[in-house]
Structure 1
Amino acid sequence: MRARRWARTLLLGALPVALISTFLVFLMTYLASGNPAAQKLGDRATPEEVTRLNASWGLDRSFPEQYLSWLGHAVRGDLGKSYFSGLSVTKSIGERLPVDASITLVAVVVAVLAGFAAGILAALRQGGITDRAITVLAAAATTIPEFWLAIMFVSLFSLTLGWLPSGGYVPLTEDPGQWLLHVLLPGGSLGLAVAAQVARQLRTSLLAAFGAHYVLGARVRGLSTPRILFGHILRNAAAPAIATLGLAIPTLLGGAVIAEAIFGLPGLGQYALSGAQSHDIPVIQGVLVVSIVLVLSCNLAVDAFLGWLRPATRGTR
């Protein structure tokens, strides 16, 4: 049953969305103004030289021919070569992807730990000072721009306290400790707003679950509040918060681009920006397609986790 559900999700959900998305990405880059061959050759290039270079890149073919050829290579992991550097786009993305993945991973961990802790505490202290303080802070955190928060983090933890580096990146395989120190600030600044959303959603779900019949029955049987909360309520009430986290993953990936610029990180955002400025079509297409695949993969993972978290919902999806 689970394998059949996964197959249905892939065939009817993820694959059509991925195909439509790749088509729109290719269409947008195809219709974009500018001639990369003319940009590469410069103002002194003759029309014949520009035409010859466009032909070598396959840009003189029709749109269907270009799209089908590109799609056929993309599904095999070949995203082409940069028009200007001549380097493999797939290899270049592979070198930069760990940076964005590290930032997003730290942001998700921060969102889960801080969001669940704040949401549970607010629900247990409903109506009290703690609940009100968490509610106000969560509302404020969702309105603070990410770039402003990142700058404040640098000012406080790097320039004032000197606890964490203000920029740069160290690969995890090279030095795990330095890797963590370098990704804490960008990941934490991104994860705080998501943590606020998770906390608010979890608080609402927990308060609704506290009045359920199975909770009242557990109290009658003499079970303690922590056992009721962590053994019965949380598994049912956490689903909306997890769904909120899943919906925020595209925002985290997009926010990683801002974090790269502030913290000087060599990630996909800077790679895409350089490609857009030079009208390097393979680079733009490659980054967008990889981003689409990451978002769809994360959504499938969240969907699978929700199915495990609430088994009763599997048959209704």
Structure 2
Amino acid sequence: MTAVPAAEFGSARAPDRSRHPLRRTARTGRSAVRIVATSITVFLLASFLTYGLGAVGHANPAAAVLGDIATPADITRMNHVFGLDRPLLVQYFSWLGHALTGDLGTSYFTSVPVSQSVGQALPVDLSIAVLALTFAVVLGGAAGIAAALRQGGKLDRAVTLVCAGLATVPPFVIGIALIVVFSVFLKVLPSGGYVPLGTDAGQWLRFALLPALALSVEGAAAIARQLRTSLVAAVKENYVTGAVARGLPARRVLFGHVLRNAAGPALTVVGLEIPNLIGGAVVAEKIFNLPGVAQLALQSGSQHDIPLIQGTLLVTIGVVLVSNIAVNLVLLRLTPQARRPAGAAV
């Protein structure tokens, strides 16, 4: 195998011409405010679309609740009880105001508070998603670093080929393959079901391993490919020579400076993978029989339970946006160039 000389990883952090601490802090603060403000705007637009699509749909919740024997007068009276006879904007702002306080309404069919139903299902998805994201970052990061260290060698080509192949395989195919291998043949892990983390951490891990692995493969492949590309480009920068001349240890430079500069694109991939994990949860919950938010949303959709549909979508949007805010703030902290406004000199 042809290894990249260790000296090439003697890179220092890319120079930041605005070294005054107060100036850097102010710039970071402005960037963080922009990130949060943008996310709030997206949340408001998404919440309005979520509520609007439910409100203008062809389904008539009052008629569905009352059944075939309902008269037009009964339906009108029930629409008034549900508040569906008010203007759309009035309904939306009333719903959003209550939602921001934790009140997502009540199911039309079960009379159970939506927040209670979502609160029981959401931890399933969050625990699986966090485990899947951990697998993706650890496996993808290790593979990307290993490939960059052996640029052009057999390991580099193997990682690139495997990642390219895995990126094209849907999560449900990987999930079925994992069930066949670990549940049917090896009989070491259950094929489905769920135990809450707070009830038994060991059993939770046994049930969560396969769905988390199935969801993590695509993200791990994307992270590995992006990180490998970024690292290979980073070691060719001019400031690498300067770091080598100063005699910085290769390991310290790799993990303390080069990796920090090259992590930006990989972190962006992490942010993009979060919605994919949420979307993949629909299939994963079905394959592995998980009582998560996706199954709750599918069930509510089949019943035209508008408050439950809107509540699950709103919570999902909130989780995705909060996760992306966190990723962007980490990116802002790790990469100085992300603090610079567009068009600024570097």
Asked if Structure 1 and Structure 2 have the same fold, meaning a TM-score greater than 0.5 normalized by the shorter chain, the answer is yes
**Structure 2 Cα separation of the partners of residues 280 and 265 of structure 1:** 21
Task: Show CA shifts across 1:49-96 (max 9, x none).
Answer: 222212111112221221121112111111100000000001111111
Matched residue SS, 1:163: coil
Which residue does 1:103 correspond to in 2?
128
Letter in 2 for 1:9: I
Q: How does 1:129-144 map to 2 (within 5 A)?
A: 129-144=154-169
Matched residue SS, 2:204: helix
1:137 is displaced (CA, Å) by 0.6
Which residue does 2:36 correspond to in 1?
10
More helix as a share of residues? 1
Letter in 2 for 1:79: L
Q: How does 1:140-289 map to 2 (within 5 A)?
A: 140-289=165-314
1:295 is displaced (CA, Å) by 1.1
Matched residue SS, 2:112: coil
Matched residue SS, 2:176: helix
* Contact 2:83/2:91 (8 A) holds in 1: yes
More displaced 10-residue stretch of structure 1: 224-233 or 138-147: 224-233
1:163 is displaced (CA, Å) by 1.6
Question: Aligned residues: percent identity?
Answer: 51
Task: Show CA shifts across 1:286-307 (max 9, x none).
Answer: 0111111111101110111011
**Structure 2 Cα separation of the partners of residues 197 and 4 of structure 1:** 30
**Structure 2 Cα separation of the partners of residues 150 and 259 of structure 1:** 7
Task: Show CA shifts across 1:103-152 (max 9, x none).
Answer: 11011101111101110111111111111111111011110011111111
* Contact 2:35/2:328 (8 A) holds in 1: no
* Contact 2:171/2:217 (8 A) holds in 1: no
1:221 is displaced (CA, Å) by 4.1
Which residue does 2:325 correspond to in 1?
300
**Structure 2 Cα separation of the partners of residues 175 and 297 of structure 1:** 28
Give the TM-score of the pair, scaled to structure 1: 0.95
Higher relative contact order (CA 8 A, sep 6+): 2
**Structure 1 Cα separation of the partners of residues 145 and 266 of structure 2:** 11
**Structure 2 Cα separation of the partners of residues 246 and 216 of structure 1:** 32
Q: How does 1:59-78 map to 2 (within 5 A)?
A: 59-78=84-103
| Structure 2 gaps, min length 5 | 1-25
More displaced 10-residue stretch of structure 1: 64-73 or 170-179: 64-73
Question: RMSD of the alignment, in Å?
Answer: 1.5
State which of 107, 114, 117 in structure 2 corresponds to 1:92: 117
* Contact 2:227/2:265 (8 A) holds in 1: yes
Q: How does 1:26-41 map to 2 (within 5 A)?
A: 26-41=51-66
Which residue does 1:311 correspond to in 2?
336
Matched residue SS, 1:316: coil
* Contact 1:215/1:228 (8 A) holds in 2: no
1:243 is displaced (CA, Å) by 0.9
**Structure 2 Cα separation of the partners of residues 9 and 123 of structure 1:** 31
More displaced 10-residue stretch of structure 1: 80-89 or 164-173: 164-173
